[in-house]
Amino acid sequence: MPKMEIADRIEALFDAPPAAYSPADMELFRSFKALLNAGEARAAEPDAASPTGWRVNAWVKKGILLGFRLGALVDMSVDHRKQPWFDKATYPVKQFDVADGVRIVPGGSSIRDGSFIARSVTCMPPMYINVGAYVGAGTMVDSHALVGSCAQVGERCHLSASAQIGGVLEPVGAMPVIIEDEVMAGGNCGIYEGTIVKRRAVLATGVLLNQSTPVFDLVKERILRAENGQPLVIPEDAVVVPGSRAITSGPGKEWGLSVAAPIIVKYRDAKTEGKVQLEDLLR
């Protein structure tokens, strides 16, 4: 079935749900999920005409949500007595073969079906990748890292230990988190609420990014915010570190409090390149 026909039928079925779903509806969903697994249907994709360089594909999110409606709760336990698992039948654990060229190191990781994982991705245990996520070739997802639902991660990225890439399914028109190519996200980073991190940016350990927190660019003397319905965008090559700024009025000033303020301290240079080199021998 052509992709656009699948998209049109998904839209119609989501917007006007029947009293009961039919085998044809389930077959439609299976065709849709095959597109997700192949990376041919994405919750967001590059768009040069967009101010952010990305556009949301709401029909893809509708298709993912439709899968939850269609799926019955089933027992997915490998060993029911030792570790019971129960989830929707439409979203089992994703199946891989050694020919897929994905390294999933033993130790408790999980990848949900309906996600795209490119060749030469490395998954260090334990980590989790949710439905609708897209992870590009050569990326490393380190221990305790999360790639949330519909998050888009580019090629040759490094999501360090405990990095959290937030997910979003609803509202269907909301931008998911975007991590472009060659981004380095340090340990315990949190990127949430549709933030877009442009290619080759470096996020130091503990950086938190969301729609509510402005980012202070010391190099270009500007303040970056999520405004007018647009997401927060971290510029290409930016090096971002955690910071704080003092509250200047009211009890916050009296009590000497500060709030988080991520800071762009520089843009990538030769010195930065040496610090963020990934160990090719580990790949």
Q: Are 250 and 214 in contact (CB under 8 A)?
A: no
3 state DSSP class of 146: strand
Q: Are 153 and 133 in contact (CB under 8 A)?
A: yes
Positive or negative torsion for Cα 165, 171, 172, 174? negative
Backbone Cα Rg of the chain: 20
DSSP state of 262: -
Number of C-beta neighbours around residue 227 at 10 A:
10
Q: Shortest CA distance to 274 belongs to which of 164, 184, 160? A: 184
Return the exposure string of 141-166: e unless at least 16 CB atoms fall within 10 Å of the residue's CB, then b.
Answer: bbbbbbbbbbbbbbbbbbbbebbbbb
Distances (CA, A) of 117 to 42, 93, 94, 155, 165: 12, 13, 10, 11, 15
Longest dimension (CA), the chain: 65
Residues whose CB falls within 8 Å of the CB of residue 85, separated by 6 or more in sequence, listed in order: 75, 76, 77, 78
For the whole model, what pTM was predicted? 0.94
Residues whose CB falls within 8 Å of the CB of residue 4, separated by 6 or more in sequence, listed in order: none
pLDDT at 274: 64
Report whether CATH 2.160.10.10 matches the domain 1-72+93-211: yes
Distances (CA, A) of 201 to 173, 186, 230, 260: 26, 11, 19, 19
Match 């389930």 to its residue by tokens: 26
End-to-end CA distance of the chain: 37
pLDDT tens per residue across all 283 residues of the chain: 899 999 999 999 999 999 999 999 999 999 999 999 999 999 999 999 999 999 999 999 999 999 999 999 999 998 888 889 999 999 999 999 999 999 999 999 999 999 999 999 999 999 999 999 999 999 999 999 999 999 999 999 999 999 999 999 999 999 999 999 999 999 999 999 999 999 999 999 999 999 999 999 999 999 999 998 899 999 999 999 999 999 999 999 999 999 999 999 999 987 767 666 655 555 5
Residue 109, amino acid = S
How many CA atoms, within 13 angstroms, populate the side-chain half-sphere of residue 143?
A: 4
